[in-house]
A and B are shown apart, each in its own frame.
Chain A
Amino acid sequence: MSTSPQAIGSYTETALPKKRWLSRQNWERIVSILILLPSIIALGIFVYAFIAWTGFISLTAWNSAAPDFTFVGLQNYARIFIGSGTDAIRFRYDIRNEVGFLILFVGGSVIFGFLLATLLDRKIRGESVFRSIFLFPMAISFVVTGVAWRWVLTPGTQETGWVGINLLVTNLGLGGLRSGWFTDPTILFIRPDTALGQFLHSIGLGFIAAPDFGYAVAMSSIVLAAGWQMVGYTMALYLAGIRSIPDELREAARIDGATEWQVYRHVIIPLLRPVTLTVIIILAHIALKIFDLVYSMTGGVSAGFATDVPALNMWKTTFDATKFAQGASIAIILLLMVGVLIIPYLIWQTRSEAS
């Protein structure tokens, strides 16, 4: 591993007597390793050994209260991936919901976060007030967010009375905006008999034109609640990014006759690329890990698992239905999904820092 310029090691050749210097350096190296050691051991056990342990459990028959470590191979994985059993259906729904959530939540947060940042960058009077308002949900627990948004998004019905947002839009004369919110079981998907469906079929991707590859409309409510909490965060990151761009760069572009739009298109957005990457990674991993919010907002079960997500399914399978091995298999899949996203990022980070 290369050392960065800040590291002491590269400054060792100084005027001190060599013999004493070396021994002191060695002593200090040992101390520095000793200081890190407890953390390394703790994380080694609590992260890496535990992951391996979960992996092991996922290969056993421990699917009741009493531990049973009989090796069953990939049976627990087969149950959630293959066939038309309820476990497999539910897991397919989880993935479908998760992917839809991931795309809309990350995409929405990036777009709205960027929009808010550019608006706030316009020398706004009361900027700090607006910034505080946009950012405060970040300080709140997902459980609180879930409780609040469940209350706001409970739909009600015509006969029993509208509730929440539906009530508000009805009173404002905008009844067309009513929605089933998180109770809506609708799945949007590419129908096989449409032109796009036929096209997919013709290139051998016909399987995509099916509800399992659709979007569960109920997830939009989770997107709303999660977005409410995280858009401010995205905004703060972008705002800091925009502010770190030297004014001269923008001025120069303007003097060259660029419109405001072109300044963004050709100067600001390209310079913000690293911020965007960071935002996407952070939001995506939050999206994959999402648990508390769904747990407290919908519970995941209702409307035919329209808001169920892998993290919640894992928890319920493991601790409610006491199917530990089955739960472990879902946990491993979840870990792989996060790993695919995070590991390249971490490697890239380390490399770019080192160079």
Chain B
Amino acid sequence: MKHKWIYALLAIALLVAMVPTAPASAAPAGAAMACAKDYTVNAGDTLSAIAEKEYGSITAYWPIMAATNAKHLTDASYAKIENPDLIEPGWKLCIPSTTDAEAFLKAFPGRDTPTGVAMLFGEGAKGQLIVASWWTNGGEFAGLNEMFKMFKEANPDVEIVNAAIAGGAGTNFKGQLLSQLLGGVAPDTFQLHAGWEADTYDPGVLITNVDDAYARNKLESVFPPTLLSMLKFKDHYWGVPVNIHRSNVLWYNKALFEKAGITAPPTTWDEFFAAADKLKAAGIAPVALGGKDGFELQHTFETILAGSMTAEEYAGLWTGKTSWNSPKVTAALETFKKYLSYANEDHAALTWAAATQLLIDGKAAMNIMGDWANGQFISGNFTDYGWAPVPGTKGTFVALSDSFALPTKAPDPVNANLWLDLAGSKAAQEAFNKQKGSICARTDCDYSSFNAYLQSAAKDWTADSIVPSVTHGAAAKPSWATKGYADAVNLFATSGDVAAAQAALVAAAADAGYPQ
């Protein structure tokens, strides 16, 4: 805004500087074609019509566009075709031979792909890349910046716009993004939890499937099958995943455990509460909980729920196979209630990060949170922590995955696809996840430079049964997860009324289309 003048001057300076030096960019595919003849556009001509006349196909105009643009770079008398639908009378076009044209078409992967763009324009990507996420700060923001850096190196002419919106687990982000998509002011790509969350954005209408990006980068062979099945929604892929998070982790402060004489992390809830009592007796706050945004409570309850039944039964809760009337749900509610009684009283004022900070500061001993807490430990240079699966969930990996999606109205699908290619790459995933504190979506990442927790998580990811997380958008219809289920848990956290909460959970499931 205030730099407008500076930018304008810079732009003029650049233009002036560029005139004498003819661009010598990497040999574009179009340059390989000689002009069989030149053609001057007449009024009423379209590229399709010319292509039909020359090659007998109305869709074979790409070689003409590529060859003309390639010529334009060295000979300004040839036109520059930005948009194949817009040609003007008087333009000089270069028409390659039929053989050249056929060879070109065979190699041409389509206009929306980075390679395709290079072939058409003989130069790298330009313009903007708008990336929307809810990673506004901390390790996740640092991780995103790593990816920006890599993208910038590969595509120096693209301006990256960070369109982040804050909010825990995307609480504010999703609604605002939906509003943007409906209003047609989409970003080029945005953060999407793998799974049911795609349903928020009317898949196929507001977002486009990214099956092409999978095919182009052969992603189906580098992501584990469990993840692929989580990603596939309505038979398509809607996002390229960058990471895997585990949500059922119990974190503890080793020094405080030692102080209270606890030797091993609890594996059952009985052990957990025994340990909590010991901590309390030693004058240490046993549990740090953040509850300000509500999702922290839903998250905790979800992991308790997963621990109170088999992985299969748990997954069945969200597909109508397991009844919410089950006594196991009752037991989980009881456990959750007891867990809350050990938590810091001011949990309603704290975000999950503030609660994690209590652990780092040695003010509380244990905390159930997803392994994004690990990212906070990394950025806070805190190493004296231990971890274990949430009691009862050994062998179960409650998973969520952050992916990048492609809005139908992405202003620059070319750059968006470049971003998706990057997001799926090994180098980007390693750089991103080290900062973010998560493991790679790919199976071939090198974990040797990751911290101990991540190495263990990577191992569990291959060995455990995987269930998708509901709080984080993977397992259930969005309105069920963010309203029916969420409100029931939030109400229960203060009322402590088990019967009412279970009734509300049953009603929420019925609302979502699974009458119990």
Contact = CB atoms under 8 A, between A and B. Distances in A.
A222 to B, nearest CB: 13
23 contacts: A65-B200, A65-B201, A66-B202, A87-B483, A153-B349, A155-B349, A156-B346, A157-B346, A159-B364, A160-B358, A180-B346, A183-B345, A183-B347, A298-B348, A299-B292, A303-B348, A305-B490, A305-B491, A320-B171, A321-B478, A322-B178, A323-B479, A323-B483
A296 to B, nearest CB: 11
A154 interface: yes
B281 to A, nearest CB: 12
B345 A64 contact: no
Which residue, of A63, A86, A298, A299, has the highest number of chain B Cβ atoms within 10 A?
A: A86
Which residue, of B201, B283, B490, B494, has the highest number of chain A Cβ atoms within 10 A?
A: B494
The 5 tightest CB contacts between A and B, nearest first, are A304-B494, A159-B285, A302-B348, A319-B175, A183-B348
Interface residues of A, number: 42
Contacts of B59: none
B178 A155 contact: no
Interface in B166-210: 171-172, 174-176, 178-179, 182, 199-202, 205-206
B236 to A, nearest CB: 17
A66 B478 CA distance: 13
Contacts of B479: 63-64, 321-323
B494 A320 contact: no
A89 B482 CA distance: 16
Interface in B283-312: 283-285, 288, 291-294
Contacts of A159: 283-285, 344, 363-364
A86 B507 contact: yes
Contacts of A157: 285, 344-346
B29 interface: no
Nearest to A183: B348
Given A63-B479, A155-B345, A302 B292 contact: yes
Contacts of B482: 320-321
B292 A180 contact: no
A154 B346 contact: yes
Contacts of B463: none
Interface in A148-192: 150, 153-157, 159-161, 163, 180-183, 185
A281 interface: no
A305 to B, nearest CB: 7
Interface in A297-355: 298-299, 301-306, 316-323
Contact of B175 (A181, A306, A322): A322
Contacts of A320: 171-172, 174-175, 482
A85 interface: yes
| Interface SS, B side | helix
Contacts of B516: none
A96 interface: no
B172 A302 contact: no
Contact of A160 (B201, B344, B493, B494): B344
Which residue, of A87, A161, A183, A320, has the highest number of chain B Cβ atoms within 10 A?
A: A320
Contacts of A301: 292-294, 490
B487 interface: yes
A90 B358 CA distance: 31
Contacts of B10: none
B487 A160 contact: no
A185 B347 CA distance: 11
A84 interface: yes
Contacts of A150: 349
A241 B18 CA distance: 71
A322 B477 CA distance: 12
Contacts of A86: 483-484, 487-488, 491, 504, 507-508
A161 B284 CA distance: 11
A86 B489 CA distance: 10
Contact of B504 (A85, A319, A321, A322): A85
A93 to B, nearest CB: 9
A155 B293 CA distance: 17
Size class of the contact patch on chain B: 35 or more
Contacts of A306: 348, 494
A5 B508 CA distance: 62
A273 B202 CA distance: 56
A154 B349 contact: yes
B9 interface: no
Contacts of A66: 202, 205
B510 to A, nearest CB: 10
A340 to B, nearest CB: 28
Nearest to A93: B491
Contacts of A163: 346
A333 B349 CA distance: 29
Contacts of A323: 479, 483
A157 B286 CA distance: 12
A299 B478 CA distance: 20
A304 B490 contact: yes
B499 to A, nearest CB: 11
A322 B176 CA distance: 10
Nearest to A79: B511
A305 B491 CA distance: 7
B294 A299 contact: yes
B129 to A, nearest CB: 25
Interface string A281-303: 00000000000000000110111
Contacts of B478: 321-322
A182 B358 contact: no
A181 B292 CA distance: 13
B495 interface: yes
Given A66-B205, A302-B293, 4 more contacts: A304-B490, A320-B172, A321-B482, A322-B478
Contact of B491 (A63, A89, A181): A89
A183 B285 CA distance: 18
Given A157-B344, A180-B346, A183-B347, A90 B491 contact: yes
Nearest to B182: A65
B32 interface: no
Contacts of B349: 150, 153-155, 181-183, 298, 302
Nearest to B344: A157
B329 to A, nearest CB: 16
Contact of B493 (A155, A161, A181, A304): A304
Nearest to A306: B494
A321 B482 CA distance: 6
Contacts of B488: 86
Contacts of A65: 178, 182, 199-202, 206
B200 A84 contact: no
Contacts of A298: 292, 348-349
B500 interface: yes
